[in-house]
Amino acid sequence: MIPNKIGIGLAAMLVLLLGSALDAPAYADEGGYEEGNGIPCEAERDREMTLTLSESSGLPGDTITASMSVTLIEGDRPRGWREAGFAWYDGHGIVGDWVMAEVKDGDGNPFANYVGWSVPVGETLTGYATATLTVPNVAPGTELSVLVCVGHSHGPGDMHWLDFTVESFMVVPEALLGSIGIVGALLGAALLYGRRGN
């Protein structure tokens, strides 16, 4: 008689576990796309650029650090490359807002201060910028790109991007935790009852 009661109790717990597993959380898609902008920035000049990310994947709301460098060649005017814009890009448009950062040389001098100066013949000048980005609230598994555009609205420009994956976070439903507790209690009671019968 006891094994039948335990079997019925375990079957009920299995139904609860399966029901709670199907109760998946919903994710909101963040708006803010710039409709129809196609390419978010144009590369007028092809310069050597690097982009590094502190993480290649993360959860919505996490922060990552994006760092870029651009190497200017002779004749380039650093003032025209004074800003770097970092953004999340989903293949259709920008997700959220641009994060702007000042481009500086290796000594920390802003490119904006290079008024009327050009990179001399046979030399190069490398500029650096860093920004903190917050992973947007999009569906888990979404493949985004972190995009950096360097230049300014009236100057030359270039762009670079790296892929980033939005991870899913695990939500343990309360029903699952409760059903585990109930199963444990039933097994404990069955063990105690079995010992009393001996």
Structure confidence by residue, pLDDT tens digits, 128-151 = 999 999 999 988 888 998 988 887
pLDDT digits (tens, 9 = 90+) for 24-38: 332 222 222 233 344
Supply 143's token pair: 């493949």
Fold of 48-166: Immunoglobulin-like (2.60.40)
Looking only at the bridges linking them, the beta strands covering 157-166 and 57-58 are parallel
Number of residues assigned to the chain: 198
pLDDT digits (tens, 9 = 90+) for 93-127: 889 889 999 999 999 999 999 999 999 999 999 99
Q: How far apart are CA 83 and CA 128, in angstroms?
A: 10
Q: How far apart are CA 157 and CA 110, in angstroms?
A: 17
Q: What is the pTM of this model?
A: 0.64
- How many percent of the chain have pLDDT more than 90? 36
> Which positions ≥6 away from 34 have C-beta within 8 Å?
40, 93, 94
Q: Domain coordinates of the chain in residue numbers?
A: 2-25+172-197, 48-166
Tell me which residue of 157, 191, 166 sits closest to 61, measured CA to CA.
166
